[in-house]
Amino acid sequence: MRRGLQTPLQLIEMNTLQTEHINRLKLQDALERGYCPHGHSSEANDLALLIYHLGGANLLYALNQRLHIPSLRTLCNKTCFVKLTPTISHITVNTIKENLQTIMLATRMNTGSTVTRCRGVSLMIDETAQEEAAVFMPKSNSVAGLCWTHSHGVNTSLNTYQAALNIVSTLKEGSVHLGKEVTDGFYPLLAAPTCKTEDVVDMEYIYNTVMDGWEQGGGGEYVDIWSFATDGDATRRKAGHKVFLQTKISITSPLYGLLANMPGLNLYTGNGYVMLNFNYKHIFKTQIYFRVLHTSAFMRRHVP
């Protein structure tokens, strides 16, 4: 063997000796109070995570050096970060598949969670307010923040300066809008800006696209979809009735013997026995609202 070259065994032995030497130095520094490792509580980790999301990595680094807030490296070791792919133009199956892999499946694999076939999930659709602004996406070199229902009519890629001018002109004309709200969830599979002009056909397209993306992205191999829950929006409910109330459960189905003798129970489902459901938050909110109205009317009528 030529001089200077080392075998893999020698490299392993050298690495082991170096590790032992470093540990010996840390132990010696600890005895001499020169090495003072800091332990962080869960509250400190949550505070560091909040600082990172609000102020970015530079602010977290400054506070780590000054106030001994947990560093970004510590957060990465103790927290599972996920990256959501927003919908830039029209909603596609590929976006659903990418978010399914990176957010739900990869997260559960990293945390050691196991999913069995006897379990199911309920997909929920809702909206949250967002800042009405266009943002630049470096990964795709395009503009995000435009409503998904109309942004397919303009080229969102910033390949030329004229493309940016075209986006500005379409926003001024009103043919494309800035998103007012965006969908959200615990495991967000879809984040699409909306201008609140979707009709029943658009909502049917969203339901079917999410279902197709779930199956094509590998979600069906781990867990089945049991229901699709909507909020109180009438357009979504009407589309849900058309998509998830198509076929009555067959007499030959194993579920028929369990459900047929329950009076008043809906036996109509969509493809794959997916049922229509409703977000319980909106149900509770509606019940409380009507109870308050009923109580107020009663008080005005009977209390002098």
Unique residue bearing structure tokens 């397919």: 152
In this prediction, residues 265-282 reach a mean pLDDT of: 81
123 pLDDT more than 60: yes
Per the prediction, the chain carries an average pLDDT of 77
What per-residue confidence (pLDDT) applies to 250?
87
User: Nearest 5°: phi and psi at 270?
Assistant: -95, -160
Residue 303's φ and ψ, nearest 5 degrees, are -105, 120
Checking if the pLDDT of 291 tops 80, the result is no
Check residue 105 and give its pLDDT: 73
Torsion angle defined by CA atoms of residues 29, 30, 32 and 38, in that order, rounded to the nearest 10 degrees: 110
pLDDT band, residue 255 (cuts 50/70/90): confident
What number is the average pLDDT over the span 96-121? Answer: 68
Tell me the per-residue pLDDT of 54-99, one tens digit each, with 9 for 90 and over.
888 889 889 888 888 888 888 877 777 777 778 887 888 888 888 8
Q: How confident is the model at residue 299 (pLDDT cuts 50, 70, 90)?
A: very low
- pLDDT per residue over 159-186, tens digit each? 888 988 988 888 888 888 888 777 655 5
Angle, CA 281 vertex, CA 92 and CA 221 arms, to 5°: 40
pLDDT of the residue at 259: 84
pLDDT band at 257 (very low <50, low <70, confident <90, very high): confident
pLDDT at 2 (0 to 100): 45
Residue 117 has pLDDT above 60, yes or no: no
pLDDT at 29: 66
Q: How confident is the model at residue 3 (pLDDT cuts 50, 70, 90)?
A: very low
pLDDT higher at 213 or 188: 213
Q: What is the pTM (predicted TM-score) of this model?
A: 0.64
pLDDT at 9: 59
CA separation for the pair 133, 143 (Å, rounded) = 10
**pLDDT band for position 303 (50/70/90)?**
very low
The pair of structure tokens assigned to 94 is: 């590929």
The confidence score (pLDDT) of residue 32 equals: 64
- Other CB atoms within 10 Å distance of the CB of residue 75: 18
List Cβ neighbours of 256 (8 Å cut-off, separation of 6 or more).
249, 250, 267
Instruction: Report whether pLDDT(113) > 60.
Output: no
DSSP 157: B
The percentage of the chain sitting over the pLDDT mark of 90, rounded to a whole number, equals 1
Is the pLDDT at 281 greater than 70? The verdict is no
